[in-house]
């Protein structure tokens, strides 16, 4: 099933995101979190788990950054922090089912 998409426009960049994830996508994100297992429950290890889950979510949800569809995580990492965080926050909205409809019309 092909997900509808929407644009996230930051000050200087445009990302295209899927408007929803599948159950399989959600499991992939959870698997990334679990793979960075945290047996000692330290803050450092929790950060590594969250980072792994966020990276997996970005790879699944972000279709393109500034028209580039290859290596979207690397493209996102090269953006100014504030703009990257705007996009990551929208990724979180998609993966957490916080919004029923994207704010920007689909492509």
| pTM confidence score | 0.81
Q: Which residue has the higher pLDDT, 23 or 106?
A: 23
**Mind listing the pLDDT tens digit for each residue in 81-94?**
999 999 999 999 99
DSSP string, 31-75: HHHHHS--TT--HHHHHHHHHHHHHHHHHHHEEEETTB-SSHHHH
Q: Domain residue spans in the chain?
A: 5-95
Mean per-residue pLDDT, 6-33? 94
**Mind listing the pLDDT tens digit for each residue in 22-65?**
999 999 999 988 887 666 666 566 788 888 899 999 999 999 99
Residue pair 5/105 in contact by the 8 Å Cβ criterion? no
Give the Å distances, CA to CA, from 53 to 1, 85, 103.
23, 15, 24
Give residue 106's pLDDT band: very low, low, confident or very high (50, 70, 90).
very low
């Amino acid at each position: 099933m092909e997900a509808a998409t929407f644009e996230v426009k930051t000050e200087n960049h445009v990302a295209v995101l899927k408007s929803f994830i599948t159950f399989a996508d959600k499991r992939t994100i959870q698997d990334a979190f679990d793979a960075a297992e945290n047996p000692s429950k330290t803050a450092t290890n929790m950060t590594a788990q969250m980072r792994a889950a966020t990276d997996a979510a970005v790879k699944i949800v972000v279709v393109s950054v500034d028209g580039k569809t290859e290596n979207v995580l690397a493209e996102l990492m090269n953006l100014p922090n504030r703009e990257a965080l705007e996009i990551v926050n929208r990724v979180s909205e998609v993966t957490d089912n916080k919004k029923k409809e994207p704010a920007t019309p689909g492509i």
